[in-house]
Chains A and B, each alone.
Chain A
Amino acid sequence: MTKASTENPTPPPPDVQESEAVSTRGAAALAEMPERISELGRETVGNIRSDNPFMVAEDVNVYYGDNHAIQHVSLEIGKKEVIALIGPSGCGKSTFLRCLNRMNDTIETARVTGNITLDGKDIYRKEQDPVALRARVGMVFQKPNPFPKSIYDNVAYGPRIHGLAGDRAELDNIVHTSLERAGLLKEVKDRMDEPGTSLSGGQQQRLCIARTIAVDPEVILMDEPCSALDPIATARIEDLMDELCEDYAIVIVTHSMQQAARVSKRVAYFHLGLLVEVDKTDTIFTNPQHKLTEDYITGRIG
């Protein structure tokens, strides 16, 4: 029905496409996997609970055609916390992320079972409009994707389609606040009419964050938001996440364990579609319970 699905009848989930990128060292570790998974069963080690749960996933399964991409994942996402999803390529972390705002709906062959609630309400219930859900659960993508419009119009896009501003002054206000909060206002306030694509990569990504904030979501999903950026731009985005988590629940998928350690309060480790371990960031990085988690964070996998 969408672009992606028409061209590719059974598109693999974004992560699965990269699964061949696992290094040979990782491949050796992966070869021992089946045995370990059966040892593991379907239990997630650590603590999937959050102090202040806002989004709750219970026994979530995702299928792409016959491919069982995510298996029995349960996880709570709390208010005002940053939770990082880590794991080797193809482990299902991006797929799980895309369940949270129903972006998987755009893939024809994708099927989601289980329960995901947002503030107590099932987001997969019949009456739930995915469009309305996505306004509450915003998303920032791997590659900065500003629209081919001016900087102002990029940020104003969401408020306009959702009718958030009564008049021009109110819209101006939303745009300015959002840019301010994304830490971009100073750099662009004199060039609001220039195209969003004229900014640098890091600025574009902050513009995309401002665009997401402007809709006033409750949860922000970030799918490897810094993987296309240089270290300085990355540092700015990470600072930004620190500030934003005062108001939003943030779920970030990252390949950088340093980044996960720096920005997140909790870390969830995915492996081959299973949620292996969830715990406080400190615990995961200093005292992982599961052998696979330890292998991953010490660099033996991935």
Chain B
Amino acid sequence: MQSATLILLLGFMATAAFFIGRGRSLALVGGPGHGLALHSLPGYYGYYVAIWVVLPALALLSAWVLLEPKLIVALVVNGLPEAYRNLPAGELNLLVNNIQNLAAGDVISVAADDMLQDAATLFNAYAAKSRQILAVLALGVAGLGGVHAWRLINPDLRARNRVEGVIRWFLIAASSIAIFTTIGIVLSVLFEAIRFFQKVPVTEFLFGLNWSPQTAIRADQVGSSGSFGAVPLFTGTMLITAIAMVVAVPVGLMTAIYLAEYSSARVRGVAKPLLEILAGIPTVVYGFFAALTVAPWVRQAGESAGIDVASESALAAGLVMGIMIIPLVSSLSDDAINAVPTAMRDGALGLGSTRSETMTKVILPAALPGIVGGILLAVSRAIGETMIVVMAAGLAANLTANPFEAVTTVTVQIVTLLVGDQEFDSAKTLAAFALGLMLFVVTLFLNVIGLSVVRKYREQYD
């Protein structure tokens, strides 16, 4: 029986169980008019039975799906001739792979001899048998669960509490998915980074001034052994981020002040959605805007001013990244300004403050923590931004603070290290994970500070 059919059947059983449980609870107290004698609403008894039908069966199903392949492989291997069974693990693996492919009807790498054919047939037989057993077991468990729950139903059963308890566990499971995914990502990056640091010392990575990750692939090849000093990447990232913030903070903040305090309802109604559209433009679009429009423009402007500007200058990438971040800064600042109670505004106006005095002396100081928090979040966004810098900032790992030169960033290097063919245990590839770890640590740090600043000072008004 197919899994889909099985699950569909379980669904039908659950639906039936719901109505049976509901009817049973009402029947126990003497019909629909007597629902008050029940501890919970009749529907909860229905859900209670349905849960007993579905959950154990699903648990069995998932356990089976996890264990089945291993079991079948073990059985098939057992059925192989002695000579094959004693092969080394790697070769045995390959053999099993071939058997599985053959069983699925795919082309395999070696000639299909009788032994393999037999094994494949055996494999398919086991698989079919397993499906049958599973179907019988799952439906049986579902039925048993349903009967068990049905027998438990009595007017004093706290069905609502039980059902809500199950729901609560579902909610907990759902909310932990994001957390465990984060932990998983951190661990995977961390272990790869540790492998990198076994090849390249941490001190060289953190303090080295030279970034040139090209390593020789073969021992006899002419080529450098690579050098992994990440300082130029950090400075490049910081330079571009700084340029972006120089653009985004004043513009975003002034936008927020204007929209929150000065604009008429009509202007606000048009400008806010427009800003949100700006926030919704894919960064790759910003990227070619930066590379094709802004970078040449910056270069031309520089030339006419007599400054030598690289065609992939930090300035162009930073400017465009700043524009990209404006909506983030303005919307977070706008929120912070709006969170200042109207009473504060009235109080200042009532003392004879002008509008700008109210703004600069009362509202901005009151909103400052929220604004600072928002800016920190924007910085961490800028540091992690990838597409714009990949397209506009270039690959040259220059150690410079000159915005007219080309620099490269951590994210750009991660992309170039991992794009294309490479072996996954060379220092060059592993360096990407070390960079990723650094990026993660820095942005996490900024986010934690940003959010805690916002939270700490928000408590003042409620």
Contact = CB atoms under 8 A, between A and B. Distances in A.
Interface string B225-252: 0000000000000000000000000000
Nearest to B365: A148
B264 interface: yes
Chain B contact residues (Cβ within 8 angstroms of A): what range?
A: 20 to 34
A134 B351 contact: yes
B308 interface: no
Contacts of A3: 260-261, 338, 342, 345
A162 B338 CA distance: 26
A290 interface: no
A157 B361 contact: yes
Interface string A124-152: 00000001111110110101011111000
Interface stretch (A4-12, A22-30, A31-39, A64-72): A4-12
A5 B260 contact: no
B431 to A, nearest CB: 47
Given A141-B343, A145-B346, A147-B366, A212 B265 contact: no
Most buried by A among B262, B342, B346, B460: B346
Contacts of A5: 265
B33 interface: no
Contacts of A4: 342
Contact of B347 (A108, A141, A161): A141
B357 interface: yes
Given A6-B268, A145-B344, A147-B344, A212 B338 contact: no
A60 B346 CA distance: 23
B341 to A, nearest CB: 7
Given A3-B338, A5-B265, A147-B362, A212 B351 contact: yes
A6 B264 contact: yes
B88 interface: no
B348 interface: yes
B265 A138 contact: no
Contacts of A7: 265
A164 B338 CA distance: 31
A211 B15 CA distance: 68
B416 interface: no
Contacts of B341: 145
Interface in B72-88: none
B346 A135 contact: no
Interface string B347-389: 1111111100100011001100000000000000000000000
B264 A103 contact: no
Contact of A161 (B264, B268, B338, B357): B357
A212 B361 CA distance: 16
A212 B353 CA distance: 12
Interface residues of A, number: 36
A131 B342 CA distance: 18
B458 to A, nearest CB: 12
A101 interface: yes
A134 B350 contact: yes
A157 B360 CA distance: 12
Given A6-B264, A6-B265, A148-B460, A143 B343 contact: yes
A297 interface: no
Contacts of B343: 141, 143, 145
A131 B348 CA distance: 10
Nearest to B267: A6
Interface in B241-288: 260-265, 268
A21 interface: no
A193 B264 CA distance: 38
A158 interface: yes
A103 B351 CA distance: 11
B263 A6 contact: yes
Nearest to A154: B347
A227 to B, nearest CB: 13
B12 to A, nearest CB: 51
Given A6-B265, A9-B265, A147-B366, A161 B353 contact: yes
A147 B263 contact: no
B349 A106 contact: yes
Given A1-B262, A1-B264, A145 B349 contact: no
Interface of B: 260-265, 268, 338, 341-354, 357, 361-362, 365-366, 460
**A-B pairs with the 3 shortest C-beta distances?**
A135-B352, A139-B350, A145-B343
Given A103-B349, A149-B365, 12 more contacts: A1-B262, A106-B346, A133-B352, A134-B349, A139-B346, A145-B347, A147-B365, A148-B362, A148-B365, A157-B351, A161-B354, A162-B352
